[in-house]
């Protein structure tokens, strides 16, 4: 049985279809890259996986649970723009992310000491233990984004949703973040969905690359139909299928 199952999912806003007939099965531990034209509904699909919103039609189920009604601690999310708190130290940023999951919203005493120990463990997994007492403004863009990923990991989520997580970073830092994510995945097994506009990045990191597109198109009414998954590429072996594709073309391919 698949870990994430998407069955005939449609999503419309104000009667306009954005996604239609989306079907997908994902095994636990798979890394799924998602590409597609701007505005075709990739972030909308992530919100459905996060259970931040409900589909107009169809069912999204995770770990056999029938259609979650709201986000839970099993799902962590990271956006393109850093979501760290500038007035808290790096360590306190991690503790604060954990405290959001508590009833009172803050921790003290023994639970706080335990949270500090867990935060230090998370910081060493994301390679930021040496700057635990610094403020985020003292960190590079890549380090701030690692901290945002660290915050998403505090709840030990089984699913990590990444919405263009490296889109704001320079090319060199992006490559460092690819290595970081690959190492993190080896240390912390998770099912990952990552939206990216960079096809090479999608093939490099993903086990599969999903392409969202509109199979039906009305030139007189471009919003008449929604997008769906039109390709589901096998991207294992370090993106070998993509490299073969690249060898056959002189131009770089972009989504």
Ligand X SMILES: Nc1ncnc2c1ncn2[C@@H]1O[C@H](COP(=O)(O)OP(=O)(O)OP(=O)(O)O)[C@@H](O)[C@H]1O
Summarize as ranges the residues that interact with ligand X (CB under 6 A): 13, 18, 36, 38-44
| Closer residue to ligand X, CB minimum distance, 38 or 137 | 38
| Closer residue to ligand X, CB minimum distance, 12 or 188 | 12
Q: How far is the CB of 46 from ligand X (least distance, A)?
A: 8
137 CB burial (10 A radius; 0-12, 13-18, 19+):
exposed
The two beta strands, 159-163 and 191-195, are parallel
| Closer residue to ligand X, CB minimum distance, 41 or 206 | 41
Strand partners of residue 36:
212
| Closer residue to ligand X, CB minimum distance, 14 or 250 | 14
Task: Please give the span between the terminal C-alpha atoms of the chain, in angstroms, as a whole number.
Answer: 31
**Under DSSP, is residue 8 helix (H, G, I), strand (E, B) or coil?**
strand
116 CB burial (10 A radius; 0-12, 13-18, 19+):
middle
Q: How far is the CB of 13 from ligand X (least distance, A)?
A: 3
| Closer residue to ligand X, CB minimum distance, 150 or 206 | 206
Distance CA 102, CA 104 (A): 6
With a CB cutoff of 8 Å and minimum separation 6, the contacts of 65 are none
DSSP symbol at 136: G
Q: How far is the CB of 205 from ligand X (least distance, A)?
A: 18
């Amino acid at each position: 049985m698949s870990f994430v199952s998407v069955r005939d999912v449609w999503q419309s806003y104000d009667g306009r279809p954005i996604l239609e007939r989306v079907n997908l099965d994902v095994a636990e531990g798979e890394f799924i890259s998602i590409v597609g034209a701007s505005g075709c509904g990739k972030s909308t699909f992530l919100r459905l996986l996060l259970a931040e919103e409900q589909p107009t039609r169809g069912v999204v189920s995770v770990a056999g649970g029938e259609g979650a009604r709201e986000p839970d601690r099993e799902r962590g999310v990271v956006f393109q723009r850093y979501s760290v708190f500038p007035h808290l130290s790096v360590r306190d940023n991690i503790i604060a992310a954990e405290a959001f999951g508590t009833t009172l919203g803050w921790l003290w005493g023994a639970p706080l000491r335990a949270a500090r120990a867990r935060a230090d463990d998370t910081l060493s997994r994301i390679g930021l233990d040496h700057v635990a007492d610094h403020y985020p403004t003292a960190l590079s863009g890549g380090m701030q984004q690692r901290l945002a990923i660290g915050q998403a990991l505090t709840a030990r989520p089984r699913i990590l949703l990444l919405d263009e997580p490296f889109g704001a970073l320079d090319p060199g830092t992006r490559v460092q973040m690819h290595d970081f994510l690959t190492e993190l995945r080896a240390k912390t097994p998770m099912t990952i969905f990552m939206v990216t506009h960079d096809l090479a990045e999608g093939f490099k990191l993903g086990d599969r690359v999903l392409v969202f597109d509109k199979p039906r198109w009305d030139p007189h009414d471009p919003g008449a139909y929604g997008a769906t998954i039109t390709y589901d590429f096998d991207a294992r072996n370090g993106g070998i299928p993509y490299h073969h594709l690249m060898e056959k073309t002189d131009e770089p391919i972009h989504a």
